[in-house]
Amino acid sequence: MLIMAERIATRLYLTEALAAGHSVILGPPAVHRLRDVLRLGPGAAIAAFNPRDGEWLCRIGEMTRGRAALEVVARRRPPEREGNIWLLFAPIRRTRLDWLVEKATELGVSALLPIATARTQVPQTSPARLEAVAIAAAEQCGRLSVPEPRPAAPLAMALAGWPADRQLLVCDESGGGRPITEELTLIEQGAPTALLVGPEGGFTPTELDAFADLPFVSRVGLGPRILRAETAAVAALAVFQAIAGDWREARAR
Ligand code: SAM
């Protein structure tokens, strides 16, 4: 109880093993954040987490300008089973993409897959940037994992290598799909699922026809209005979590 009651100044995502008595050495980016941004010094309590070890109370030890020791004290939260929902998206411009990745992380997405469709206008995404935005969002929202950023792939390649057990819901603004709320009631809670959101120009008729031949694809609608791609992604994720995901669960305390 005391461990949980101790006020922590921030949460840090660390891939190093976290266990009582371990010491983790932090490099310049983390030290800059703790020391220069948050004005923390030796003795300050923070939390460190990863999906393998859970979340741990830590204390800042010796600290210099570019290096700090972080002493791992006690576990605050054990590892948790997390959701299994992928988001496939046609890359959009940088500020809107950052927003999308931040919100998708808060909404519990487990993997982020940039997909090049026929009308995708932004050819490049930086996996490192996707990861940095996702880590910051995971630290802020209390989850234990960070969504995995996958390398960008053409739509045809993603569909050709699609895992047999994962249902893909394609967000289709043309009106040709079922309402997403109806489709989601058919999905078992926790079943591997993915959502695909198209580019600003939407999917081409050829792409929409190709989806019809794939047994793992369902086309779904998000209501009568045309949403921007990032709005569609966030709306679809929220509805997914409410109906087939983890919104019936309480927050871990
Ligand atoms: N080119 C389209 C148009 O002007 O009619 C708009 C594409 S929309 C800006 C970008 C993507 O968001 C779409 O490809 C789709 O995946 C998703 N989307 C937007 N509104 C939607 C809706 N009402 N239902 C389902 N998906 C939607």
Read off the pLDDT of residues 45-81 as tens digits, 9 standing for 90 and up. 999 999 999 999 999 999 998 999 999 999 999 999 8
Q: How confident is the model at residue 112 (pLDDT cuts 50, 70, 90)?
A: very high
Residue spans of beta strands (DSSP E) within the chain: 11-13, 23-26, 45-50, 54-63, 68-77, 85-89, 111-116, 148-149, 153-154, 167-171, 178-179, 193-197, 217-221
Distance between CA atoms of 53 and 48, rounded to whole angstroms?
10
Task: Find the 165 Cα to ligand 1 centroid distance in Å.
Answer: 26
Q: Could you tell me which residue, 153 or 5, shows the higher pLDDT?
A: 153
* Ligand 1, pocket-test mutation among 89, 171, 173, most atoms within 8 A of CB: 173
Read off the pLDDT of residues 199-220 as tens digits, 9 standing for 90 and up. 999 999 999 999 999 999 999 9
User: What was the pLDDT predicted at 2?
Assistant: 47
Mean pLDDT of 98-103: 97
Contact residues of ligand 1, CB 6 A cut-off: 171-173, 197-198, 200-203, 221-223, 225-229, 232
Q: How confident is the model at residue 122 (pLDDT cuts 50, 70, 90)?
A: confident
Query: Tokens 């979590």 label which residue?
Result: 241
Task: Find the 200 Cα to ligand 1 centroid distance in Å.
Answer: 7
Task: Find the 197 Cα to ligand 1 centroid distance in Å.
Answer: 8
The first and second tokens of residue 216, run together, are 């793992």
Ligand 1 atom with the shortest distance to the CA of 222:
24
CA angle 138, 140, 146 (to 5 degrees): 5
Mean pLDDT of 152-161: 96
Domains annotated for the chain, with CATH where assigned, are 11-77 (2.40.240.20), 85-243 (3.40.1280.10)
Mean pLDDT of 231-239: 98
Q: How confident is the model at residue 253 (pLDDT cuts 50, 70, 90)?
A: low
- With CA atoms as reference, report the closest residue to 223 among 168, 183, 178, 167: 178
Q: Could you tell me which residue, 247 or 249, shows the higher pLDDT?
A: 247
Query: Tokens 């079943």 label which residue?
Result: 191
Is the per-residue pLDDT at 4 higher than 70?
no
Task: Find the 181 Cα to ligand 1 centroid distance in Å.
Answer: 17
- For the chain, report the end-to-end CA distance as a whole number of angstroms: 10
Q: Could you tell me which residue, 107 or 123, shows the higher pLDDT?
A: 107
Q: How confident is the model at residue 234 (pLDDT cuts 50, 70, 90)?
A: very high
Query: Tokens 């940088």 label which residue?
Result: 94
Task: Find the 218 Cα to ligand 1 centroid distance in Å.
Answer: 15
